[in-house]
Structure formats: structure tokens, C-alpha cells
Amino acid sequence: MATLKEIRAMANKSTFASQRRLRRPSSGFTLIEVLVAMTVLAVLVLMVANIFQSSSAAWNIGTQKADMNTAARAAMDFMARELSCAVAGPIIRAGSAGVNNMQFWQKQIDDIRFLALANDPDASTHERAVRGVYFMFDNSDKTLKCKRIVKTPVPLDCYALVNNPSWDSYASSGDMLITNVWKLYFYVYTNETDLVNGNYFTHYVDKLTELPLCIDIALEMLSGDDMMRARTLQSNPTEQDKFVSRNSKLYSTRVYFQNRVGYRAR
């Protein structure tokens, strides 16, 4: 039988052990807890990075599309304005006998050349009533080229530009109007019947001696990045066509020649 002293000693020992258990400091994170925390943190960082990357890509795509729309609309307006000033038909040329024909020439589906009313000075600063104009698609670098020429020194000598063999040399040195052009089409309709039936002009060797009824301009464009991607697919035309059909945008307008029979020799 335990004595009173032993009972007190045992009680004190039990109390001391309980106090030690209560006072024991908290243990640190385990390795598993640290790994779990790092994994969660890495997932969050990756999610934020993906969101930022997606936002940047979307911004870049939107910016390129906006630039493409601006360039295409500006080019279409410019071509329509120049075409609306076109002249063709017989006219008496100053200082020469007889009548000369001002001609309107569509050399190819993507190449059109004509004379337009203007007051541009030539190299000798003399004013001219008309100027030679051409628009052409350059497939080698996917650009729309433009050239506006005032011929010297004979007044109104640019009437001969369409027939002049040197026109091609002018055209080859045309100024770039816009880039990232995939295709350019000029659908020329010479009369109402052809327009109704959809029979556009295809006799490219023939030069018109009067203005057509109207012209439909179709401009197919890609953004800068899409054009680079399309070029890499040149070895696979089928995939290239699919990619272009998904990502290109077609712009079109129609130009009527209201005064098409108004320029006649007197």
C-alpha cells in the first residue's frame, strides 16, 4: 500500500507530464505539405501566364484585323475614286489631225489600265487634262501596286499610254499600295445584259474604246501573321487553300461609269 508521500509524488509527476505535453512547441511543415503548396502555386502561376498569353494573342489578332480592314477599305476607296474619273473614247487631240481613241484596257483579271481626268503637272510643270493609271496585283510579293503617270512633253500625249509598249515598264515599277493581298479581281461588265447574266469581260487582248458599264472589284486579304502562315503552306496547296478560306476576308465594291458615253469627238 502506497504511502501518502508516494501518492503525492505520483500526482506531481502526472501533472508535470501533462504540462510538458501542453507546452510542447508546434512542429514545422512536412515535406509533403511543402510539395503540395508548391504544386498549387505552380498551377496558379501557369494559369495566370496562360491567361496573359491568350490576352496578348487576342490583342495582336484584333490589331492586325483592324489594320487589315483599314488598309483594305482605303485601297478600295482609292481605286473606286480613280476609276470613277476614267475617260475613254474618240477625242480630237490638240495639234494633230483626225481623232485618237482613249482606251480602257483590262490586261488580266488582276491588271487594269486606263486614263483618268486630272490636273497633275508633268515633269516640266505643265498641267495635263488626264493621266495614265494602272492597278495590278503582284503575286510574287502579294501586294497591290499602283502607278499614276503624266506623260511629257506633248500635251495629252498620255492618251497613247495604253498602246505604248513602254506601259509595261511603267507598270513593273509601280508603287506598292497595300500588302498582304491574297487575290485581286476586276470583273468588267460592258453592258446591262452581261451584268444581269454575270458575263464579265475576258477578252484581255482587246482594248475597249469606250468605258464599260461598271466594274466589280474584289480584294481578298490576310493579316500579317496569316499571310506568313499561308506562305509556309505553299508546298501543300490543298492545306493552303483551306487555311486561306478560313482566315481571309473578302472586300468588294462596284464602280459605275455614269458618263461612259459622254466623251465623243466633235
- List, for residues 162-180, the tens digit of each pLDDT value: 445 455 565 566 788 999 9
Residue 87, pLDDT score: 83
Residue 36, pLDDT score: 86
Residue 144 domain-assigned (yes or no)? yes
Question: What span, in angstroms and rounded, lies between the C-alpha atoms of 103 and 208?
Answer: 6
Residue 151 domain-assigned (yes or no)? yes
Most confidently modeled range among 22-36, 83-97, 134-148: 134-148
The continuous run of DSSP H or E covering 113 comes out as strand 111-117
Residue 25 domain-assigned (yes or no)? no
Residue 15 domain-assigned (yes or no)? no
Residue 183 domain-assigned (yes or no)? yes
**Residue 182 lies in domain:** 61-256
Residue 228 domain-assigned (yes or no)? yes
Residue 118 domain-assigned (yes or no)? yes
Given a cut of 80, whether residue 9 has pLDDT beyond it is: no
Binned at pLDDT 50, 70 and 90, residue 217 comes out as very high
With both helix axes pointing from N to C terminus, report the angle between 237-247 and 224-232 in degrees, rounded to the nearest 10.
Answer: 170
Residue 165 domain-assigned (yes or no)? yes
- Residues of the chain with pLDDT > 90: what percent? 35
Question: Any idea which of 39-43, 45-49, 87-91, 207-211 has the lowest mean pLDDT?
Answer: 87-91
Residue 124, pLDDT score: 62
Residue 200, pLDDT score: 94
Given a cut of 70, whether residue 8 has pLDDT beyond it is: no
Higher pLDDT, 187 or 205: 187
What's the total number of domains in the chain? 1
Q: Are 120 and 150 contacting, i.e. CB atoms less than 8 angstroms apart?
A: yes
Binned at pLDDT 50, 70 and 90, residue 187 comes out as very high
